[in-house]
Structure 1
Amino acid sequence: MNAVLFYLLLKPLSYVPLPVMHRFSDLLSWLLFRVLGFRKKVILGNLQRSFPEKPAREIDRIAREYYRHLCDLVVEAVRCFSIPEAEIKRRGVIKNPEILEPFFEKQQPVILCAGHYNNWEMTATAMPMYIRHRVVGLYKPLKDSFLNQKITESRSRFGMDMVSIRKTRDFFQADHGVSIILFATDQAPSNPNRAYWTEFLHQDTGVLYGTEAYARKYNYPVIFGYIDKVKRGHYEIRFTVVTDDPGSMPEGAITEAHTRLLEAEIRQKPEFWLWSHRRWKHTRPANWELQTKPSTN
């Protein structure tokens, strides 16, 4: 069924110019927000807890803008199945690739961390066109093997290598060359007892510790990527160095640093973060204090 859906609907739609697809996105966002109320309780609850200082009218505005952004992400993902190389390079720009040059000259792999903010997939897909590092994206495989294959192929079309998170340890242990390894840092941890707990957007939040753990183990510099929406369908990513010497930082400091950077990014334009996912589905274990590194047990 998924193969039929892909070849009869998604693949033909992927050839439609993005400005036309954005018109469909407008209709879809109205339908999801006003008619179906898609995950409206989750979205509004997340926004209200994250911004208790904002009035109800402002929360409603952010929610409306978020639905529009979410639907843009959907149609842009469909377009990426067939988007030409020149177009995606124009739509996913790296503003300061020179940040990575000293590391490449030293043949130094680095870790790039970012959140699910703006169109993280479009900027990641275009990244190999701008930098000399081998670009490696860690991803969580979908349960549907056919769709997983097609989405992985779409993300890999312009040079990015995709590695399942189930094989992260094997990847780091193997010879992976001069790579920049992409970590998404804002997903809910599967095990709250192995998370780093801190306050994030006014809430107790478990943060994945993988970025810091691998940076420390292999002494890889950590870069944070700010993703900005310049205009509809056009994004820019800007790099900033979190640390070029992970071993010199106290335990938890790297995780705390990239979490604060993401929080500041979200506060600036909150409508561009992924509010429809259940980010706070876990509660902090009763015996855990905030700003604590995960248990090694």
Structure 2
Amino acid sequence: MDTAIRAKVTAKDFFLWLGAMVALYVSATSLILLVHQYINVFFPNALDYAPSYSSSMRFAIASLVVFFPLYIWLTRMLHQDIRQTPLKQELWVRKWLIFLTLFVAGITMAIDLVMLVNTFLNGDITTRFILKALTILIVIGGGFWYYLNELKGKWEEKKKESTIVAGIVSVIVLATVASSFFIIGSPQTERLARFDEQKTADLQNIQWQIISYWQQKEKLPVSLADLEDPLAGFVAPKDSQTGASYTYESTGAMSFKLCADFNAPSRDMITGADTKAMRVPAPIGGDLANENWKHNSGTVCFDRTIDPDRFPVFKK
């Protein structure tokens, strides 16, 4: 009777094992995604124009920072619990979740290998693809090996080896997370980049207001104050970082320039995208309409020329 009571699954046992498995899945997925983003950075796809990986990298880092320590802590608690009560190795929740993990890991590795072989047979295999496939195999394969030994009770019996494995994996995860800051920068750098993105959005808004003004009055505004319209609710935005007004100057009958102070080069310049659009006045509405907001750090002016064929004056 005592044995049956001790081997019974309690609410604590159930949620500890469930929590550990959820933390494991999130940590493994986040680690794979983070390494994949490294591969994207160092082996870029020629078909990707000015790709941005910082958002997905930040999410993967945040997930690892929260869930990986949680996984280590929960796993340690479970191992200590089993060492104190060896019969808990036979808990159904433990066996079911471990077998489920082994099944998912096995299927994932099999699919990964199928994709690798299929890509090779199609002649589309690249260094980028191979590295991503190997990342999945190594991470998932490592988890498969660990829980195969977990099923046999190895880590409960050999505490020292369990601690060594946890230490090695922790160092790998920590190094992977720390390395990411060399790519996406520090939180302060990211904050400054967001200020720059807001400045670009403000300039785009002002630009289209200038176009609308020209279409209605067939002339450019003298200053940004001329654009303000209480009925339409438009007020010329200001630099959200400094509170200063943006610089506007009419340079011709249909040309003008907008200037702002930026903290750093735009992300598409950092990733090595073509920057020719910065060096020529861009006709608004032309092919460069969505590509000519690249900038360096410091004060940058964007020269614009309105194309009357694309933006004709409104008939009165």
**Which structure's relative contact order is higher, taking Cα pairs within 8 Å and 6+ residues apart?**
1
State the TM-score, normalized to the length of structure 1. 0.24
Larger Rg: 2
Larger proportion of helix? 2
Structure having the larger proportion of residues in strand? 1
